[in-house]
Structure 1
Amino acid sequence: MSKRLIVSLLFILFTFTACSQNDSLKGDKPPKTQIKVGNQTYETKLGTYCWESKGQAECVDTAGPIELLKDEKKIPVKAGEVVKIVMNYSPKPGEIHLNEIVNNKESEVIIENNHFTVPTKKGIYYYSYGVYWRDKKDKHVSHGDAFYAFALEVK
């Protein structure tokens, strides 16, 4: 092989490696996510996820929010209170969804600027917070996704 060919191949290899590292996510699994109610901060429970980091990918499948949280203490909230979802991680996910589960019926909740409003009716509400890190060039390629579960008890 000529030196020119070797240098060209190394340049191509370096370019592809550098590009793939730009989209690589940090950590060996999705970041911790909390919810903030008033001045109190609470942990969420990581559920199902797929995560790609340093050229390695892993997918973990768990039970849904109700089963995942059956032995967990429900977070007390007031009717109509505002809840903030906090994820101290960069890059931020490009797509988010929040689903509420009540009496085995699931519906999407409007979330703006990582905030949503708690229902006004008393009861226990389960939530699934789904986040997705899509490729910047091809939105059909995912570098990671995660679902976090938490339960609120409206008093």
Structure 2
Amino acid sequence: MKGPLAAMLLLAAACSLGAAPLPTAAADVGGSHVSLARGSYCWSSGGQATCADSADPEALLRTGYLKPVTAPSGAPVKVTFNSAPSSVENRLLWAASGTVTAAASPGASFVLAAQPGRYVYAITGKWQEGDVSFLLPVDVTS
């Protein structure tokens, strides 16, 4: 009985040893370097799979989970990851004005909105283990 139990424990330990942790991301925007909050994701690694949905941006701002960075309109944004994704897309997720018409664009670099206001951008990376979205809240100034 000890043999099969030991083999199961060894197998379980081996499966979790190779688990890849969720990636992290940061952005350079308006002269600031900020860590990005994780949004929704699905991740499968080391024999375990997890999916999590993020609350809506307005609720995340209200609770303080998202803390906007201030940057001028049209400022360039460059997002970097601690491990390279196979692809990245960015999109304007939320605007205080309530008007969001932008479609997703490829790449980890983009420019901020031209109009002053509060915005939340979603940057989604795709890895072999899954997809992870990161949120960039910005107070855009003129």
User: Residue in 2 aligned with 1:87?
Assistant: 81
- Distance verdict in 2 for CA 1:79–1:105, change over 3 Å: closer
AA aligned to 2:137 is A
Tell me the TM-score normalized by structure 1. Answer: 0.67
Shift of residue 77, structure 1, vs aligned partner: 0.4
- Distance verdict in 2 for CA 1:86–1:25, change over 3 Å: farther
CA contact (8 A) 2:30 2:72 kept: no
User: Residue in 2 aligned with 1:120?
Assistant: 114
Output aligned runs, 1:3-152, within 5 Å.
26-27=20-21, 30-70=22-62, 71=64, 72-89=66-83, 92-100=84-92, 101-102=94-95, 103=98, 105-112=100-107, 114-134=108-128, 143-152=129-138
CA contact (8 A) 2:30 2:70 kept: no
AA aligned to 2:131 is D
AA aligned to 1:43 is S
AA aligned to 2:130 is G
CA contact (8 A) 2:76 2:111 kept: yes
Shift of residue 40, structure 1, vs aligned partner: 2.1
Structure 1 stretches of at least 4 aligned residues deviating more than 3 Å after TM superposition: 109-112
User: Residue in 1 aligned with 2:12?
Assistant: none
Structure 2 stretches of 5 or more lacking a match?
1-17
- Where 2:20 maps in the other structure, the secondary structure is coil
- Where 2:103 maps in the other structure, the secondary structure is strand
Identity of aligned residues (%): 26
Shift of residue 111, structure 1, vs aligned partner: 4.7
Shift of residue 95, structure 1, vs aligned partner: 2.7
Query: How many residues align structurally?
Result: 120
Shift of residue 130, structure 1, vs aligned partner: 1.6
Structure 1 stretches of 5 or more lacking a match?
1-23, 135-142
User: Residue in 2 aligned with 1:4?
Assistant: none
- Distance verdict in 2 for CA 1:124–1:67, change over 3 Å: same
Q: Distance in 2 between matches of 1:54 and 1:86?
A: 24
Q: Distance in 2 between matches of 1:122 and 1:47?
A: 24
